[in-house]
Structures are given as structure tokens and as C-alpha cells.
Amino acid sequence: MTPSTSILLSALACLALAGAATAVGLAETARPAAVSMERTVPIADSDIFAEIDANKPFRQIRGGQVGLECAGAKDISVASFDAAGGFDGTAQPAGRRFGKTADPLDSSKQVLMFAPSVSDSLGGAGSKRCELSWWITQPGVIKPYIDIWHAFGLLMPDGGYDFQAVISQYHQLTSQTVNPWAAIQAEKNGLVLFVRHNTMVPPTRATNQTRIFESPGIPTKAWTVIVTKVRIDPNEGGRGYFQAWRDGVQFADYAGPTGYATIEQHPTWQKFGFYPWDHANWSKPATARVLFKAPVFVRDPTGSKYTEASLRAYVLAR
């Protein structure tokens, strides 16, 4: 299967991302795999509305409050950590579960590290997860009906998992238990992007419409840069879309409704890190280190001011 292939939702995938669900999977037309040769436009600081640069103190996080759920604990303020701080797990093997570490490919730089263990508690966070939540207490920072870029570097040195884990996801605050409307999941042999929408009020898992896009390979030895461009619009006939690239190769190009119809009442917020929802099948590695470089959100005021190459260059420079 090529990096740009979109596949039908299978019965197994219906179980993914926080529980069993009945859903409708739709096939997309594959695009040729080609590295982006677009112009690189420097990103204006005024267009950046959220960023975590591990080379700066945690208190300088841009974009609002960020909370940590990790190793059975939750609602930990990341801004409270000092320069060398982080969160340590108590289950064996004890040690740092979240914090900063030297970039393994450039020791002069710092990156974010998540390192949940198979022995971590299910209490508190509700899973053996280790994730940051952006804006759950400040919903609406990710606005609908505007063009938004998001990018981050990803390195998974302990890859080759025998389980599935979410590394990035978009949620809406809602009283209904529905899956995240978009998520990137790591599996044994690659990354998988889920994009959902639902025009029903209230939304339910049974009425979710889901599309899936695959990108083969786990980045275990070198950074891979994920860039997405999205317009949240859950309306049929609207201007919603979700595009995704990996190292300049586009693997998702979906145009249609994005998110749930309750977007006005329940705005979008985002989580990233490592959420092994499939932890019942987790046997190796005992501790899974996942590194993130410079996660950033950028508004595109014209919809075409920036390119994938612009976001990729920004991440790699940090």
C-alpha cells in the first residue's frame, strides 16, 4: 500500500481509538507520492497561535494552558515544571515519563519526551497514556471555518510495537462519548490517520463517518515531520478539508465535512503524546519512548500564504 492510499474502514479499525464503534468508512482517490517542491515562506510570528519549543522554558509555552496526563496522574500543569523538570513514574521501571531530553541527532537541541511504561497505572488518566492536552480548559482556541496548519517532528526509537497507540488527536468537548474527530495512530508497521465527521445532533459513534489514510514505516532512527492543514467545517456542502504530509509527501487529501455538528457548543481541543489505548496487547517494549520536536499551530490568513515546506522547515530548524 502506498503512502497516499486511503482504505475502507475495517471491522478492526472500528474498534480503534477508545472503544468499539460502528462507523462508515469511505474510500478516497489515491494521489501520486511526490515530495513537495513548494516555496518556503518564513512563518510570521503573529500567525503562530500555539507552540511548545523544548529549547525554551515550559512557562513560555504559547497558546494557553497545557495539562499532562501520565502514569495514572492527570491535570498536571506543564508550565509548573522548571527547566530540568518533568514527571516521574513510580511503577517499575521507575523514571522520567515526561520531560525534555537532548535531541539524539543534535545534542545542542532539546525535544519533548514521553515514556509511558507497560506497568503504569490505569487510574487517574484512565489508561497507560502519557499525553499533553492543549486548551481543554480554554476550548475554542482552534477555531472552525479558518485555515490552520499544524506540524511536529516525530521520532519513535522503540518502535515496532505489538499494540496500537494514538500520538495526536483532536477532540470536541461534548457530553456524548464519541471518538476524536481526527487522530494519528502508530501501529507496528506505520502511521494511520483517521478523519471523522458527523452531521447528527447529538453525534454518536454509530453515525460517525470515518476515513482512513496510511503512511508506512515507523520513524525509529531519524526525525519524520508531520504537517497537516485543516479547515474545521462539519457542514455538508461546506468548505471543510484535511490534508496531511509526511516529510513532504502528501498521504491524505480529503475535502468534505470535518468535525461534529456541535462545533459551536463544543469547540475543538488537541492532545498529543502517546496513548496506547490497545494496552491489553502491549508486551514490548516495556517502556515506549516517543520524542516530539517543536509542535506548532499556525493560522493561514489567506489560506495560501504558507506551504507544507514552510511548516517543515520551521520544525526542523528547532
Question: What pLDDT shows up at residue 84?
Answer: 78
30: number of Cβ within 10 Å = 16
CB 61 within 8 A of CB 134: no
Domain membership of residue 24 as a residue range: 6-316
Question: What pLDDT shows up at residue 46?
Answer: 96
Lowest mean pLDDT among 26-40, 88-102, 108-122: 26-40
Lowest mean pLDDT among 16-20, 90-94, 168-172: 16-20
Say if 63 falls within a structural domain: yes
Average pLDDT, the chain: 84
Say if 279 falls within a structural domain: yes
More confident residue, 96 or 253: 253
Count Cα atoms within 13 angstroms, Cβ side, for 263: 22
Say if 69 falls within a structural domain: yes
**Which of 215, 166, 171 lies closest to 186, judged by CA?**
166
Q: Where residue 100 sits, what CATH number does that domain have?
A: 2.60.120.200
Say if 1 falls within a structural domain: no
The owner of cell 496531511 is 244
Question: What pLDDT shows up at residue 10?
Answer: 33
C-alpha torsion 23→27→30→33, nearest 10:
10
Residues 82-96, mean pLDDT to the nearest whole number: 79
- CA–CA dist 139, 312 (Å, integer): 27
Long-range CB pairs of 22-29 (<8 Å, 24+ gap) are 22/205, 22/206, 23/196, 23/205, 23/206, 23/208, 23/209, 23/210, 24/208, 24/209, 24/210, 25/210, 25/211, 25/212, 26/209, 26/210, 26/211, 28/211, 28/213, 28/252, 28/253, 28/254
What is the pTM assigned to this prediction?
Answer: 0.87
Number of structural domains (the chain) is: 1
- CA–CA dist 247, 225 (Å, integer): 5
- CA–CA dist 157, 289 (Å, integer): 7
Angle at 77 between CA 159 and CA 185, to 5 degrees: 25
Lowest mean pLDDT among 12-21, 125-134, 157-166, 216-225: 12-21
Share above pLDDT 90 across residues of the chain, in percent, rounded to a whole number: 54
Say if 139 falls within a structural domain: yes
CB 49 within 8 A of CB 150: no
CA 117 → CA 68, 272, 315, distances in Å? 16, 17, 28
- CA–CA dist 207, 242 (Å, integer): 20
Say if 309 falls within a structural domain: yes
Say if 302 falls within a structural domain: yes
Question: What pLDDT shows up at residue 71?
Answer: 84
Asked if pLDDT for residue 197 goes beyond 70, the answer is yes
pLDDT digits over 176-186, tens only? Answer: 668 899 999 99
Question: What pLDDT shows up at residue 181?
Answer: 94
